[in-house]
Amino acid sequence: MAIKQWILHDWSDEECVKILKNCKEAIPSKDKGGKVIIIDMVMKNQPEGDDSDDKAIETQLFFDMLMMVLTKGRERNEKEWAKLFFEAGFSGYKINPVFGLRSLIEIEPKSLTPFSLATPIATILLFSSPSHPIIVGLED
């Protein structure tokens, strides 16, 4: 499993695909427990005329502008995230909006054989502070 927190929004789509492909190469296949966990913002698509969540949308747009000014990145909606995941070769994703503006996103590589609970899981942990990405380790 690879965990990425507040990292991919710092990068362009092309760079995100490269990062995700590297993660896919570093983890086992889905049937061996491989998974990438991303904690990042998923922009909402607000229907026209719906002003029920204006402050949340305004905050998301502020973060999007901040990413464009400070980095080559941006905030993405679900459709844009899905495009990145499939371009990087992942077979599926699940978005869990559980951290306020942030969501927990699970993406999995393609499965080769049926899953077994006895299969060991390799883990890559990658956390980030605003200025220092840190690779914590690789465990078997």
Residue with tokens 């909402």: 44
φ, ψ dihedrals at 97, nearest 5°: -80, 90
Single-letter residue type at 60: Q
The answer to whether 76 touches 63, Cβ cutoff 8 Å, is no
Interatomic CA distance for residues 52 and 92, integer angstroms: 31
DSSP string for residues in 14-38: HHHHHHHHHHHHHS--GGGT--EEE
Catalytically annotated residues: 9
Interatomic CA distance for residues 43 and 127, integer angstroms: 21
